[in-house]
């Protein structure tokens, strides 16, 4: 089990600011706060973008209340779709699609995770297959997809990995640094960013 130990006192939060290479898409949120180190890693990744490409950010920090707003409908849908499942089975499946707001919370609640994709300078999004936040089989990063979609996913993962961020394997759009998921994927026993509320 990963131990979560907050390493910042006080917590160093900043806001993402839109630029000609970083677009902020208000589809999910208008709260662009994030840990400074995560913001700096994204800015570093921008420097590595191929010419003609930009990042489009969809989500950053989430309050516990916002996490519950995302969790409840997923839990309800999975419950309705699987009436014979136990609450534990529903909880486990729902946890694949949205981090549970209880307990150690999500990387978003820690200000350590982002949801991001690639776009062109005209804000047209590259095709990644399926929709973000969709409860579908194509959401996992390694899911078999068409070659152009695979190229886009692989490029996004490489850009984020090159600056030390990790991808959540069940969501091609989700990347984090310093949270529980990051610690698990990188083989550490301790994460150093805890939920902020």
Quote the domain boundaries for residue 82: 3-191
Residue 197 within any structural domain of the chain: no
Predicted local distance difference test score (pLDDT) of residue 98:
85
Mean pLDDT by 10 residues, the chain (197 residues): 86 97 94 97 98 97 91 94 95 87 85 97 95 76 96 98 96 95 95 89
Q: What is the pTM of this model?
A: 0.91
If we measure between CA atoms, which residue out of 104, 86, 97 comes closest to residue 169? 97
Q: What percent of the chain has pLDDT over 70?
A: 98
Q: How far is CA 21 from CA 16, 120, 129, 161, in A?
A: 12, 9, 22, 18
If we measure between CA atoms, which residue out of 142, 138, 161 comes closest to residue 45? 161
- CATH number, domain at 23? 3.30.1380.10
CA distance linking residue 176 with residue 183, whole number of Å: 10
Quote the number of domains for the chain. Answer: 1
Residue 196 within any structural domain of the chain: no
Predicted local distance difference test score (pLDDT) of residue 135:
62
């Amino acid at each position: 089990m990963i131990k979560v130990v907050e390493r910042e006192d006080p917590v160093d939060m900043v806001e993402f600011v839109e630029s000609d290479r970083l677009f902020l898409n208000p589809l999910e949120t208008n709260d662009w706060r994030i840990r400074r180190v995560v913001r700096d890693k994204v800015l570093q990744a921008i420097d590595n973008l191929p010419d003609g490409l930009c990042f489009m950010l969809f989500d950053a920090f989430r309050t516990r209340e916002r996490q519950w707003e995302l969790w409840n409908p997923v839990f309800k849908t999975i419950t309705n779709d699987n009436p014979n499942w136990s609450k534990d089975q529903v909880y486990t499946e729902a946890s694949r699609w949205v981090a549970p707001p209880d307990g150690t919370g999500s990387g978003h609640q820690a200000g350590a995770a982002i949801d991001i994709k690639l776009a062109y300078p005209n804000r047209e999004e590259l095709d990644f297959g399926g929709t973000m936040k969709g409860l579908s089989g194509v959401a996992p990063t390694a899911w078999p997809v068409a070659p152009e979609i695979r190229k886009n996913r692989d490029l996004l993962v490489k850009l984020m990995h090159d600056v030390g961020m990790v991808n959540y394997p069940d969501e091609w759009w989700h990347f984090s640094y310093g949270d529980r998921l990051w610690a698990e994927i990188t083989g550490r026993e301790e994460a150093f960013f805890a939920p902020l509320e």
